[in-house]
Amino acid sequence: MARKKILLAYITSYSGHHKAASAIVGALNQLSGGEKLISKNLGKGVELIKLGNGNEVLCVDFLRYLHPIGRIIVEKSYLRMLKKNPQTWEYLYDNPEVYGRLQKWIDRLGVWKFPKLARLIEKFDPDIACCTQAFPALMLADFKQHSSLKMALTPIVGVFTDYAPHRYWVHPEINLYVVPSKEMGKVLVVKGISERRIRDFGIPIDPRFILNSPNKGDTLKKFGLNEFLPVVLVMGGSRGLGSIKEAIEELEKSFFSLQLVVVCGLNKKLQKKLEKITPALRCPVKIIGYTENIDELMKISSVIITKPGGLTVSECLACELPMILVNPIPGQEALNARFLAERDLAVIASDGKEAAAVVIRLLKNEQARQRMRFQARAFKRPDAALAIANALIKGWD
């Protein structure tokens, strides 16, 4: 089989889009025989990865590469909006008027008008492009319409990382849409996408969430946890958002025998605040910052309080971990939460207080937890990353 050059585009490090891209790289490496990756950081969000079978992957963070300072402004504005004025994001999300303005902006400032990015793509000369976020997918699709014949013939694969589609993805030059469910595929058909261009492979996650976990007792010991108490995992995404402090305080008031593991992600301010209050709490609490061991923590937990980001909930499903979803961001997270709750895969809580009450209820009801685990077992898609990698290498028709 001829060697392939794959362009893998996403936005923002430590995001779900980035994690999905990394999972696809891991699966591509697995298909190549699992030999050691040779990675070269080219700077400004660009990484060239050579696989054991000769295939190459160029990973590009579009926001960082297009404008490093602009990326910081966008990220900070987004976080500020979520904290101070989430209804603004709800207005922007999947809004046809906003979409029309964005499309006009892309028409005026397409990739071909960013010569540095255009040169990067043309020099790499990809055989196929894969995007885990809509912005780079639209940019590349627009580039196909205004570039050389070679790029015009380059297929683009769009990989959804949430459980509901939005109009920003819809473009005639995107050749394949990878969705997490058949229901989502039907929504795309209504939006005008042919069924031939849709595959319900699932959301790609790191294979560590799928592999058999080490001995539970050893993992508990590794994190300094009590083997006789149920573990409640509390997370707020990579940014540590949500009612984490409130949930901890409410669980403390319950006097239920449990232990907490709280992952603050990149939120140093939250981590310091919690580290100050936890020594005075009755129940054992383990505070952790950003960690690569989320798979281990999920596998030893009885229940999780988390925000419903697409990658996070897919990881929970892979671990068959009962979820309480709190403070969903209007737009994609709210739709994720509704999708999962309607299928008894999760419970939605309006705030930390309600989340704590649901935790206690589930810990007291083993049958309810088993029912959620059974639902997750039937719904999870552990082979998503491999299915996507296989399509990128061998095609999908």
DSSP per-residue string spanning 170-223: --TT--EEE-SSHHHHHHHHHTT--GGGEE-------GGGTSPP--HHHHHHHT
Q: How many CB atoms lie within 10 A of CB 249?
A: 15
What pLDDT, on the 0 to 100 scale, is given for residue 220?
Answer: 93
- Mean pLDDT, residues 325-349 taken together: 90
What pLDDT, on the 0 to 100 scale, is given for residue 73?
Answer: 53
C-alpha distances in Å from residue 315, one per residue of 137, 195, 215, 245? 24, 27, 19, 23
For residue 252, name the pLDDT band (cuts at 50, 70, 90): confident
pTM greater than 0.75: yes
More reliable by pLDDT, 270 or 179: 179
Residue 367 has pLDDT above 90, yes or no: yes
What pLDDT, on the 0 to 100 scale, is given for residue 260?
Answer: 94
Residue 92 has pLDDT above 70, yes or no: no
Q: Please name the helix (run of DSSP H) or strand (run of DSSP E) that holds residue 30, with its range, or none.
A: helix 16-31
Of the ranges 114-118, 153-157, 169-173, 270-274, which is most confident? 153-157
What pLDDT, on the 0 to 100 scale, is given for residue 185?
Answer: 93
Residue 261 has pLDDT above 60, yes or no: yes
More reliable by pLDDT, 252 or 59: 59
Task: Tell me if 315 sits within 8 A of 205, measured CB to CB.
Answer: yes
What pLDDT, on the 0 to 100 scale, is given for residue 325?
Answer: 95
Residue 61 has pLDDT above 80, yes or no: yes
- Mean pLDDT, residues 30-51 taken together: 83
Domains by residue range for the chain, with CATH:
5-206+383-394 (3.40.50), 211-379 (3.40.50.2000)
For residue 377, name the pLDDT band (cuts at 50, 70, 90): very high
C-alpha distances in Å from residue 167, one per residue of 92, 186, 196, 321, 384? 12, 14, 18, 31, 23
What pLDDT, on the 0 to 100 scale, is given for residue 331?
Answer: 79
Task: Tell me if 304 sits within 8 A of 323, measured CB to CB.
Answer: yes
DSSP H helices in 212-365: 216-222, 244-254, 268-277, 294-300, 310-318, 332-342, 352-364
State the average pLDDT for the chain: 85
What pLDDT, on the 0 to 100 scale, is given for residue 321?
Answer: 97
Residue 124 has pLDDT above 90, yes or no: yes
Residue 206 has pLDDT above 80, yes or no: yes
Residue 115 has pLDDT above 70, yes or no: yes
Task: Tell me if 255 sits within 8 A of 284, measured CB to CB.
Answer: no
More reliable by pLDDT, 158 or 248: 158
DSSP H helices in 343-365: 352-364
- Mean pLDDT, residues 255-284 taken together: 88
What pLDDT, on the 0 to 100 scale, is given for residue 232?
Answer: 96
